[in-house]
Amino acid sequence: MSTYHFLDGKAEATSTLGDQEALVFKSDGYCDGPGCGDPYIAYATKNGTDFYNVVMYGDKELDTTEQDIVASFKFVH
């Protein structure tokens, strides 16, 4: 996972998502073509052979509700 990039960005930190190691990406917004998107924080992880991205748009820091969402995320088999 250490070489995984989200929207061309490099991970700024590691965390957990659903008891899996996750890479954390923060950006002021992805810029492409006619303009730039909203800022975001993305958590990326791999479960088996599948990659998962949980993205919170419009934020540079997670609020309490978003932190609760990330903390409660679970993979169901």
Domain extent listing, the chain? 13-64
Those residues with Cβ within 8 angstroms of residue 35's Cβ, 6 or more apart along the chain or in another chain: none
| Nearest of 54, 51, 40, 44 to residue 23 by alpha carbon | 44
Least confident of 28-32, 43-47, 49-53, 56-60: 28-32
Averaged pLDDT score across all residues of the chain: 87
Residue type, 66: E
Q: What's the pLDDT score for residue 34?
A: 83
CB 11 within 8 A of CB 24: yes
Region 29-51 average pLDDT: 87
Under the banding of pLDDT at 50, 70 and 90, the label for residue 6 is confident
Q: How many percent of the chain have pLDDT more than 90?
A: 47
